[in-house]
Amino acid sequence: MAEDVKTGNPVWETIKTIVYALLIAGVFRTLFFQPFWIPSGSMKQTLLIGDFLFVNKMAYGYSYASCPSLIIPSVGLNVDAEDVCGWMKGDNSRIWGGEPERGDVIVFRHPVTGRDYIKRLIGLPGDRIQVRDGQLILNGTPVPQKPDGVFTEVAAPQGPQRLRPRCENGPVGIGAVCEKSRYVETLPNGVSYDVLNIGNQGSDNTGIYTVPEGHYFFMGDNRDNSSDSRLPQSAGGVGYVPYENLIGRADRIMFSSAGRSMLFFWTWRGDRFFKAVN
């Protein structure tokens, strides 16, 4: 005689499956890797608008900022990391904390708005930082910059926000070639990366910043198109970033879309699959 097989309510089983999947995804995102979609051009040419990457949360340990935020304005959903893990905030410490290295590309929470930013770590606690005629001065010593040709891109709206690139040879018309001078900058610990120049502006000549204990100083590689630690938080910039606000290190680009959505696979850039972030 055939054995009876009990079956549950299919709707309830589906709901349970979805809940379990969300719980597993939440744990994975909180503890290990967080997806990040590059929305702006502040890190060109290292990171382009439309790059999709996973942030390594294990690199620096865990703090309140490690809890994921879930913000979907179209449906009125706004659950911030601080809403869930705010009890961990306040002492500027981390669990299993690791120290970031100068030159790391890091995702962090803005100290005021709580939004996620991605920049390059330039200044460690106690460092003195200045920019003079577009050159980075670190603890009184100019950081070497070597000319490395020209970065080019099409002058056209980019990404979901349809941002127009700023050009050193601009303004230029839609579809024209947009150019920026490129330099290889090398930090004292040997980390090298490309930085771009658009023109002379206020952020190319600054006062001296002294990084407080337990804080870090960040800059974008696209130096003239980056809101970063050179501008204080009171003026809408990033300012100094507390240790507990670090989320993780960007190690590798998974894929990159040159279109308005990462779902538009026909716009994916073929040369950026699994590309290391330097």
CATH of the domain at 210: 2.10.109.10
Residues 146-194: pLDDT tens digits?
Answer: 999 999 999 999 999 899 999 999 889 999 999 999 999 999 999 999 9
Domain total in the chain: 1
Residue 4 pLDDT more than 90? no
Signed CA dihedral, 87, 73, 247, 111: sign only: negative
Among 81-90, 92-101, 153-162, 206-215, which is the least confidently predicted range?
A: 81-90
- Determine the Cα–Cα distance for residues 120 and 36; give it in Å rounded to an integer: 15
- Do 32 and 59 form a contact (C-beta atoms < 8 A)? no
Residue 1 pLDDT more than 60? no
In a domain? residue 2: no
Residue 83: its pLDDT value, please? 84
- Determine the Cα–Cα distance for residues 184 and 178; give it in Å rounded to an integer: 19
In a domain? residue 3: no
The phi-psi region of residue 196 (left if phi > 0; otherwise alpha if psi is between -120 and 50; otherwise beta) is: beta
Residue 52: its pLDDT value, please? 95
> Where does the pLDDT of residue 18 fall: very low under 50, low under 70, confident under 90, or very high at 90 and above?
low
Domain span at 122: 12-276
In a domain? residue 214: yes
Residue 31: its pLDDT value, please? 53
More confident residue, 29 or 190: 190
Residue 15 pLDDT more than 70? no
In a domain? residue 225: yes
More confident residue, 27 or 84: 84
User: What's the whole-model pTM score?
Assistant: 0.87
Calculate the average pLDDT of the chain: 89
Torsion (CA) 33, 36, 42, 44 in degrees, nearest 10: 80
Active site (catalytic) residues: 42, 119
> Where does the pLDDT of residue 2 fall: very low under 50, low under 70, confident under 90, or very high at 90 and above?
very low
In a domain? residue 1: no
- pLDDT over 90 for what percent of the chain? 70
In a domain? residue 56: yes
- Determine the Cα–Cα distance for residues 153 and 277; give it in Å rounded to an integer: 20
In a domain? residue 4: no
- pLDDT over 70 for what percent of the chain? 88
Residue 28 pLDDT more than 50? no
The stretch 215-225 carries a mean pLDDT of: 97
- Do 121 and 100 form a contact (C-beta atoms < 8 A)? yes
In a domain? residue 157: yes
Q: 178: closest CA among 208, 143, 153?
A: 153
